[in-house]
A and B are shown apart, each in its own frame.
Chain A
Amino acid sequence: MQSTTFEQLQADRAAKTPVVLAKNLRTGAETLLYLQGKKGTKGWPHEVAEAARAALLADRSTTIETEEGPVFLNVFNPPLRMIVIGAVHISQSLAPMAALAGYDVSVVDPRRAFATGERFPGVHLSHAWPDEAMEAFAPDLRTAVVTLTHDPKLDDPALAAALRSDAFYIGALGSTRTHARRLDRLRAAGFPEHELSRIHGPAGLDIGARSPAEIAVSILAQATERLRKRAA
């Protein structure tokens, strides 16, 4: 690997930029490819850039055959993150489950009595207001955002920030009626329908979940579905 390639790869990883290191296994030629733009594609068969994008979205490294030889696409995606708004009962189940599934989990709740280390051992906690917390976290394509407080003061600003971001999954807890009112408020705030449709509400796959742990399973399953099926 050329040192310039190596340094750029390390810089991209530090900046949490999804990147593919493409390597022609016959010639040794290499390049770095990104989700957007033509950077790095010059002189490479056109199918390579497309395959690199698919590999990033599928989060799976692979080798493709081209006229110029086999090209290995090594995927370097930033870590999965989940931002949970509300240090509530469901969060206590969701946080450890999501951590097991590979997410770097943060729980946001300005109500200090809720977001305590005793209730959330080993979980990153933020007592900032959701809009400030979301700005600090800067959700990207590898981030899921889940709002669980039922309180518009806390949930709405987080959802608005999530909609303005590339978050791959946005889930909002609440009954169908609660969710309809929530959409009305966000509509009034200027979000168009196609953006509002990114919010999964009520959050979670319909598996008949009842207990907080079961609801956490349904939410994690839905986030997984969005993560793994979007490339298809």
Chain B
Amino acid sequence: MTSAQNPDVLQQAGQWRRQGQGVAIATVVTTWGSAPRPVGSQLAIAEDGAFVGSVSGGCIEGAVVQEAVDTIRDGKPRMLDFGVTDDQAWEVGLACGGKIQVYVERLD
């Protein structure tokens, strides 16, 4: 639910930044089909690869973190597209296929 969205994700992002770490925020901006997490879901990533939150319930977080670390380095926002076929979806524990688009930006 949007209202309860990641009560601590942004707080953690702020904390990492205060500690002097580079931080990126990834946000689900579009979903098609049965995406596991709603639009607006967020993931905060520190430059050392630590992350909190969720954009997919687990299946693409690894890839997002990788891109986020690059974003922290070069400061360029990225739009990531992920498609999950029915077969893959089954493997990662989703009932059916879906596609999601994730916007990754650095917290300056």
Contact = CB atoms under 8 A, between A and B. Distances in A.
Contacts of B106: 1
Given A3-B107, A10-B11, A25-B103, A102 B1 contact: yes
Contacts of B10: 6, 9-10, 13
Interface residues of A, number: 25
B95 interface: no
The secondary structure that dominates the B interface is mixed
Contacts of B105: 1, 23, 28
Interface residues of B, number: 24
B10 to A, nearest CB: 6
Nearest to B77: A28
A61 interface: yes
Interface in B37-81: 38-40, 77, 79
A23 B79 CA distance: 13
A226 to B, nearest CB: 15
A77 B3 contact: yes
Nearest to A72: B29
Contacts of A63: 29-30, 39
Contact of A6 (B1, B4, B5, B14): B14
A112 interface: no
A218 B1 CA distance: 22
Interface of B: 1-5, 10-11, 13-14, 17, 25, 27, 29-30, 38-40, 77, 79, 103, 105-108
